[in-house]
Amino acid sequence: MSNSNDNKLMEQTAEEIRDANFDYLKKFREWSENQELLPETIRNYIREINFYINTYLCDQELQNAREGCYKTSAFFREQTTLSPTKVNHIITSIKNFYQFMLEESEITVGDYNHLNNTMRELKQVWLTGYNKGEYINANEFDENGICRKTGTRFDMNERDKDGYGPDGYNEEGLNRQGHNKVGIFKATGTPYGTDGFNMYDVNEEGTDRKTGEKHDYIVLVEEFLATGKSPHSFCTKKNMHIDVFKQIVEKVVLMYPKITQEQMEQAFERSSEAHKNKRADVFDKLITGKVKIEDYVKDPEATIKFEDLLKQAKIIEEQAQTPEQQDVAIEQTDMLYRMVGTHMASGNMDIMDYFRLFIKGRYDSSGYLALMGPEREPGIAATKSPGIYEEIIDEIRDIPGLNGLILRLHIERKRLEGYRDRKINDSIGYKDTKTGKSHMMVITKEHIEYAQKHIRNSKGYECAKTIENVCLQFAKGTLTFEDIENYVQPETSTLKGLAITKATMQAEADALQKEKTRVEARINENEGALK
């Protein structure tokens, strides 16, 4: 009976993984198309990734796609008949897929860095030893710990000079601190070593070995539990992406047993019920006119995503018991579209108003892409991933008497197109809250190059968003080229593959301010044209 239940649970888990993988592959195809890759290249990527995440990770390992950052070594060990060309193609496919996963916040910077480091260290092994079935243990390392056979830190058995693999564990399944993969210390039989610290360098009281103070992640989660706020509300207050916070929660549950998974699930469930009540209240106030839409979109604490407001309208329609009640519910949905569409067409919404109303928490280039869709060539209509803005226009088009509103929404869309990613010679700046003056800086090639260097120094993810964050620091004078030249590498976190660097979290916090700055600068530049 137990085996039967176990099999059902495994089948259910596998089905859930495959469903998620289907969505990942669909979005990855769209992402690849936006990179302007050749159709044949995209098809090959999809084929390789489908095999990796479905046939290998799901069917053989019963693991989801996110775990794939840590499974490439085991995967290539099994693929002993691949040609070097095939290995290279699979590596390229996997790197592109997990870059997409990182941009979608499905994995962390630490996950992505671990993947890249593993590929860099073991690529030569995969291309030679594995493909020929040769598992010669060279055991010859130079004074720098480099294996003479492979030219990397690892020999043909994927062991470094001390006998540890890329995952940090030796043949006994122990890491350098003596913990096994489930966190039990061999000498004590508990998660804590003889020095009182676990595999995450945190003791029973939550103290971080390096700082001597309670770990930052634990402090953050305890603060969340104490406030009783919803995760979205808490993250808005902290200027943090909700997905980043969820990843931190996962780590805290692992490193600090005093905060349990059940405790966090209960906290999230309570906040979910509070969110439903808030959604119903906000919907009622907007429909009855107690709250004006122009005031509503300016309040980060009060704003609920437009998508959730539509869910509330749908719930009311489904609960209607008479045709008259159903007609009222449908009219309320039309009223919601009319209200939001009219305010959008007024030209008085800045980009952060749009983010708060439609994206909520994704204050970056991915949020903008979700809102506006991919950039369109002049005179050519969008054929895929039109974006939320276009979807709203389509809905409003079906509501009688709003043709004039459609025209004004198209004009507003042209204004919003001006908020796409900056390039060299664009301006960036900020508004001094004390003097009220705007300070602008023209982005040069040198700014871009130093921004990229700064991001690489801090092991952050390099994209348009993070480059602009650094350029904004240049504009403010809080970061200089000299600072970057004199950079000293800090100690890294011991949360191997799980760490989210403070630089990454700060980038999330800076994103909100960056978008506000962008709006002010763009509106000042285009004010005459808009009139």
What are the pLDDT digits (tens) for 411-433? 888 887 766 655 566 667 776 77
Helix (H, G, I), strand (E, B) or coil at 344: helix
Beta bridge partners of 185: 179
Find out whether 24 and 53 touch, Cβ atoms under 8 Å.
yes
**In which band, very low, low, confident or very high, does the pLDDT at 375 lie, cut at 50, 70 and 90?**
low
Q: Where are the alpha helices (DSSP H) in 191-305?
A: 216-227, 231-238, 242-255, 261-288, 293-296
Q: Where does the pLDDT of residue 364 fall: very low under 50, low under 70, confident under 90, or very high at 90 and above?
A: low
**Cβ 529 vs Cβ 484: under 8 Å:** no
Range picked from 52-61, 126-135, 357-366, 453-462 for highest mean pLDDT: 52-61
More confident: 405 or 530 = 405
pLDDT at site 218: 94
Residue 394, pLDDT above cutoff 50: yes
Q: How confident is the model at residue 98 (pLDDT cuts 50, 70, 90)?
A: very high
Whole-prediction pTM: 0.40
d(CA 7, CA 60): 14
Residue 131 has a pLDDT of 42
Cβ-proximal residues to 477 (8 Å cutoff; 6+ apart), any chain: none
Lowest mean pLDDT among 96-110, 115-129, 410-424, 434-448: 410-424
Provide DSSP, 42-108. Answer: HHHHHHHHHIIIIIIIIIIT---GGGGGG-HHHHHHH-TT--HHHHHHHHHHHHHHHHHHHHTTSS-
Task: Give the C-alpha separation, 304 to 6, whole Å.
Answer: 40
| pLDDT of 401 higher than 50 | yes
Residue 530 is predicted with a pLDDT of 40
**Closest of 247, 165, 181, 500 to residue 191, by C-alpha:** 181
Cα angle 248, 252, 254; round to 5: 120
Q: Where are the domains of the chain?
A: 2-132, 292-419, 427-530
DSSP conformational letter for 376: P
Q: Which two three-digit tokens encode residue 345?
A: 């067409």
pLDDT at 227 over 70: yes
Q: What are phi and psi of 430, to 5 degrees?
A: -150, 165
Q: Per-residue pLDDT for 251 more than 60?
A: yes
How many whole angstroms separate alpha carbon 35 and alpha carbon 29? Answer: 10
Q: In angstroms, rounded to a whole number, what is the distance separating the alpha carbons of residues 223 and 240?
A: 14
User: Which residues neighbour 358 within 8 Å (Cβ) at sequence distance 6 or greater?
Assistant: 305, 306, 307, 370, 371, 388, 389
Please state the rounded mean pLDDT for residues 376-401. 70
Residue 51 has pLDDT above 70, yes or no: yes
Are 26 and 384 within 8 A, CB to CB? no
